[in-house]
Structure 1
Amino acid sequence: MANIELDIWRGEWGLASIDLECLKVLTYMKFIGVPVKVRESNNPFFTPKGRLPVMRDGRTVLTNFEEVVEHLKSLHYNTDVHLNSKEAAEASAFTQYLRDKLYPAYQYAWWVDEKNYNDVTRPTFAKCLRIPFNFFYPSRYQNAAKEMIDALYGEHTDLREIEKTIYSEAEKCLKTLSDRLGESEYFFGNRPSSFDAIVFAYLAPLVKAPFPNGTLSNHVKGTANLARFVARINQKNFRHVTDEYNKQNAKKQSTGSQSDREAANFPNQTRNKILAALFAAIAMTGYAVANGMFQELKDFEHSRDYNEMFENEEEDN
């Protein structure tokens, strides 16, 4: 088998990738254990369709999840072999259900909500890109998301009404997912399927991204079995990513704590320096008085004043 290469958006917040589609492919490959060389890309401009992920296997170049799954099946890598026909049909129906109900809300939270976009989405994606592409691609993706929302709900519909509707539909979808999962480790038996990779790719970024407007994210986090599902898959398949993130985060917190301590000690340090200077000044003053220096200076000042006065009188004369 030729060496498989996968170009993806880089990770953040303990995620292997910040992108939904990249995370689908990467998680599926982890499930089936296919040897793959993963590269974090900083420029989708030269990809076949101007987007990521891109999987290369010799001359075969694939750019979406479904194509990747079918290609890997042809290489006898298939995580769905344990599904019976009923389960396969159910997984397919659920996948379309997610596309219809959860995907619009996902896009809204990431790209349409202005606060989330300005504070989290745009700077996160811009950090992944080279100049000048970091100015181009985030706004391009935002425009595409807005066009999709306009197509679904009407261009002139009140955005607040759209948000209310879109999140309501998404929450119903998440409730259905939660009921289907129950207390099981995966959605179909005790082995992961391609559907588990899809669900994880949807939910993990919502759980991890620090959105200021976290309506959808908070609903995922508040659904206990879905939150455990995300944590479990992340730990089993991307533990090295999580560990590295936790390590770096702890280092930042330690550096921050040291800076905070220094900042907290700054008033004390300043006070000590001032007291030391005052003490030195008092000591020098005492020494000066003891040695009659003040008296000499006083006499000198008086003599200078007298001389100036005499000079003035002479000038008057």
Structure 2
Amino acid sequence: MSSLVAEAVQAEIGAYEPWPDNACLYQPYQVEQITFPDYATCLSVKTFLHMCSLDFHTELRINAEEMSPSGKVPFIHVGAFLVAELDPIIAFVNTRGFHLSRELNESERSEMRAYMALIENILVNAELYLAWVDETVSEEITKPRYGYVHPWPLNRLLPWQKQRSMKARLKSISWSNKTIDEVCEEVKTCCQALSEKLDNKQYFFGTRPTELDALVFGHLYTILTTRLPVSRFAVIVEGFSNLAAFCKRVEENFYKKFGREY
């Protein structure tokens, strides 16, 4: 009951502060600079906002990370507010009266949050591992992209610092010493769980999308469409036909139908 009251209050607050026409999402340059883990996160946020039918425009900045209040991308600028990363953005949008998961009961919402945590704990870490720990991908793709917009010697120094930071993060959760085979098994386990949950439904909780759908699409679509010298993650995702079909469905319903960019 208390959650219903909170939602009613949030909706009322949102009613007094309509979503502005000049809302803006900031991210790194997409073609030259952004790394594929950051692209997945940015795509998840964009998809969430599209699913809420909220207007925004995208601003590309070479220093988007430094501009972000959390040091992570993407972040949105709405009125007087700067909000970074998916979970805080979801919470902020909820205060404006927009709730994708409004129709879910408490048990379903708990389940949704558990699957979102699964993605954060496996897919996000797997993407960081592939981007920064796998030597081929890090040297051929990630580090050159991350340093692309900076002059020498920053184009060498900043990617090295970022790689050291990402390796330290993965080491703290015992991921840095995994082999690529072990990481692929983690990805397969995650995809298996998502595939079983989705089954033959349109979205994970029926006929209407939730925050989970936005998060899953952002990461799986990025894995499927990003060209990397190591394609094992994409092969795993393609092995689950309902997940691949889900990505095409979201792409059609929230991007192609409206002529939106990815």
TM-score range, shorter chain: 0.7 to 0.9
Q: Which has the larger radius of gyration?
A: 1
- Within the candidate set 41, 46, 62, 2:61 is matched to 41
Q: 1:146 and 1:5 mapped to 2: Cα distance?
A: 31
- Within the candidate set 40, 46, 61, 1:26 is matched to 46
Q: 1:211 and 1:173 mapped to 2: Cα distance?
A: 21
**CA drift at 1:85:** 1.8
- Within the candidate set 196, 203, 208, 2:225 is matched to 208
**CA drift at 1:108:** 1.0
Partner of 1:236: 253
Query: Are the equivalent residues in 1 in contact too, given 2:202–2:246 (CA < 8 A)?
Result: yes
Answering whether residue 195 of structure 2 is matched by residue 178 of structure 1, we say: yes
**CA drift at 1:213:** 1.5
Give, as a single letter, the amino acid of the residue that structure 1 aligns with 2:74. P
* Closer, same or farther: CA 49–74 of 1 in aligned 2, 3 Å: closer
Percent identity between the two aligned chains: 23
Answering whether residue 146 of structure 2 is matched by residue 119 of structure 1, we say: no
Q: 2:117 and 2:195 mapped to 1: Cα distance?
A: 16
Query: Are the equivalent residues in 2 in contact too, given 1:6–1:39 (CA < 8 A)?
Result: yes
Partner of 1:224: 241
Q: 1:96 and 1:71 mapped to 2: Cα distance?
A: 19
SS in 2 for 1:153: coil
SS in 2 for 1:56: strand
Q: 2:74 and 2:135 mapped to 1: Cα distance?
A: 26
Q: 1:194 and 1:170 mapped to 2: Cα distance?
A: 20
SS in 1 for 2:82: strand
Give, as a single letter, the amino acid of the residue that structure 1 aligns with 2:129. Y
Partner of 2:159: 138
TM-score by length of 2: 0.80
- Within the candidate set 97, 106, 111, 1:76 is matched to 97
Pairs aligned (count) = 236
Partner of 1:108: 129
* Closer, same or farther: CA 52–175 of 1 in aligned 2, 3 Å: same
Partner of 2:8: none
Q: 2:119 and 2:95 mapped to 1: Cα distance?
A: 26
* Closer, same or farther: CA 177–164 of 1 in aligned 2, 3 Å: same
Which ranges in structure 2 are unaligned for 5 or more consecutive residues? 1-17
Q: 1:50 and 1:136 mapped to 2: Cα distance?
A: 18
SS in 1 for 2:103: coil
Give, as a single letter, the amino acid of the residue that structure 2 aligns with 1:41. R
* Closer, same or farther: CA 205–154 of 1 in aligned 2, 3 Å: closer
**CA drift at 1:103:** 2.2
Give, as a single letter, the amino acid of the residue that structure 2 aligns with 1:34. L
Query: Are the equivalent residues in 2 in contact too, given 1:120–1:210 (CA < 8 A)?
Result: no
With a CA cutoff of 8 Å and minimum separation of 6, indicate the structure with the bigger relative contact order.
Answer: 2
**CA drift at 1:12:** 4.8
SS in 2 for 1:62: strand
Give, as a single letter, the amino acid of the residue that structure 2 aligns with 1:175. Q
Answering whether residue 26 of structure 2 is matched by residue 7 of structure 1, we say: yes
**CA drift at 1:152:** 2.2
Which ranges in structure 1 are unaligned for 5 or more consecutive residues? 246-317
**CA drift at 1:28:** 0.3
Give, as a single letter, the amino acid of the residue that structure 2 aligns with 1:82. E
**CA drift at 1:208:** 1.0
Q: Which one has the bigger helix percentage?
A: 1
For the aligned residues, what is the CA RMSD? 2.6
SS in 1 for 2:173: helix
Q: 1:136 and 1:187 mapped to 2: Cα distance?
A: 42
Q: 2:235 and 2:151 mapped to 1: Cα distance?
A: 34
Query: Are the equivalent residues in 1 in contact too, given 2:83–2:89 (CA < 8 A)?
Result: yes
Query: Are the equivalent residues in 2 in contact too, given 1:153–1:162 (CA < 8 A)?
Result: no
Larger mean Cα displacement after TM superposition, 97-106 or 191-200? 97-106
